[in-house]
Every structure is written in structure tokens, then in C-alpha cells.
Structure 1
Amino acid sequence: MNEILTLEGLSAPLLALRLLALDFPHLPAPVVDMSSIYPDRLALSFHESQGAFTAFEAWRAALGIAPSAVEFHVQCDHLTGVLTARGKYGGAGADIELTAFTQVPATAGVA
């Protein structure tokens, strides 16, 4: 039998979001996502201008996620670049997932 997750079950990402809002109010606002499927995860995503990952990098640095932890790939449309990174923040116990999307210049995939 499946139990219904209560709002209390999302306390880790909710607390992390509250702490992030208090500690980093000057950083760019992300798209925020929490899910009962992954109740310990707080996902922050950014849709950035062509070739720039400015907001992603500001958040990565603020969260203390090492540059070596960042992964890059291009989606199958060959037009969208994606950066991803994960880390923990403070004592909230939430897994913070950063994702950024940007347009890849049309000539980048041409060989």
C-alpha cells in the first residue's frame, strides 16, 4: 500500500529553499521544483541566453559545488546545451540539483 506523502515529507527541500532565500537573496531567481517522487530534492533550473551560464555559475559557486562536479551535454536537438550539478546545502539535508539550459550556436555542431 502506498502512503500519501504529506507536506511535512517535503520538509528538507522546503527548509533548503527558505535558507537559500535568506542567504542568497541577491542571486538570480531560479525555476524551483519539488516533487513527492523525490522528496529530498530541491531542483533549481535556469533558462539562460545564448551560450551564457551566468546564473548557474553564480548558484554553483554560492553552494560550494566544485566545478569538476558539473556535467555538460547537448540535447538531441543539437540546439540546447545543458549544465547539471548536484550538492547539499547547510543542515537542511536536501539534495540540491542545479540545471541550466542555453541555446547552442548553430555552427557549434558543424564538423
Structure 2
Amino acid sequence: MTMSTLADLSTPLRALRMLSADHPDLPVPTVRVSPFYPDRLCLAFHSISDTTLPLAAFEAWRTALGVPEDAVDGRLQSGGRTWALEAWSEYAGATVELTAYADTDRTEGRGGVL
């Protein structure tokens, strides 16, 4: 068994670099890359404070990535207390997984998908 190297993650890291250059004004996501899915770039938004608007951030990224609104999977989870959105895209050779989680008692919207 050979050890994975940083070069094994070059595809999603390149996509992240290109996204930061092409869209520097997008909201900052939680970023995850993994050797288990070496071509995947995961970008997530969470309700972690009163200043975090995860659904609006998700929408900004969805638009920038060119994901159609009807391609978003929206659902409730945690007994109906949390909105969960998920969308997938391709960017610079990487599969981009875009997710957002928000408390249902928040007042922000996302254009009627949920």
C-alpha cells in the first residue's frame, strides 16, 4: 500500500484555487477535501451564529457554479428543525458538492425551493 500525497488531491485543490480567483467575493464556506474522494471538493454552510446566512451563501455559490435551481435537493431533517440543501456541479475537473444547513426558525429564504 502506498501513502497518499498532496498531489493526489490536486484536482479539487486546483478547483478551489480557480474558484477563489474567479469568484473572490463569494461567502466563505467550510471546505473539505479527502483522499477517500480525491476528485471531490466539498463546500458547506451552517447556521453557527446570528451573522451566518447559510441559505443565502448557498444560493450565491449555486449561481456562481451554474447549478439550476431545480437541481437542488432540499429537505427537512432533525425532526423538522433544520433545512438541508444539496447540489452537485463540475468545476475545473472536480466534482463540487455544495451543502447548506439552516435552522428552520431563521427568516432567510432561498427562492422557493424548500
Q: Please give the secondary structure, in 2, of the residue aligned with 1:4.
A: coil
> Residue 22 of structure 2 aligns with which residue?
23
Q: How many residues of Structure 1 are paired with residues of Structure 2 in the alignment?
A: 103
Q: Does 1:67 align with 2:66?
A: no
CA contact (8 A) 2:84 2:101 kept: yes
Cα distance, 1:14–1:52 mapped onto 2, change above 3 Å: closer
> Residue 4 of structure 1 aligns with which residue?
3
Q: Please give the secondary structure, in 2, of the residue aligned with 1:53.
A: helix
Can you give the 5+ residue segments of structure 2 that lack an aligned partner in the other structure?
A: 107-114
Q: Deviations over 1:3-49 (max 9, x none)?
A: 32211110000000000110111110111000111110000001146
> Residue 39 of structure 1 aligns with which residue?
38
Q: Percent identity?
A: 47
Work out the CA distance in 1 between the residues paired with 2:2 and 2:66.
Answer: 35
> Residue 109 of structure 1 aligns with which residue?
none
> Residue 102 of structure 1 aligns with which residue?
102
Work out the CA distance in 1 between the residues paired with 2:8 and 2:54.
Answer: 35
Q: Which moved more, 1:95-104 or 1:43-52?
A: 43-52
Which of the pair is proportionally richer in strand? 2
Q: Please give the secondary structure, in 1, of the residue aligned with 2:35.
A: coil
Q: Deviations over 1:54-80 (max 9, x none)?
A: 100000000101111100111233211
Work out the CA distance in 1 between the residues paired with 2:67 and 2:30.
Answer: 19
CA contact (8 A) 2:12 2:33 kept: yes
Q: Which moved more, 1:8-17 or 1:43-52?
A: 43-52
Cα distance, 1:34–1:52 mapped onto 2, change above 3 Å: closer
- When normalised by structure 2's length, the TM-score is 0.82
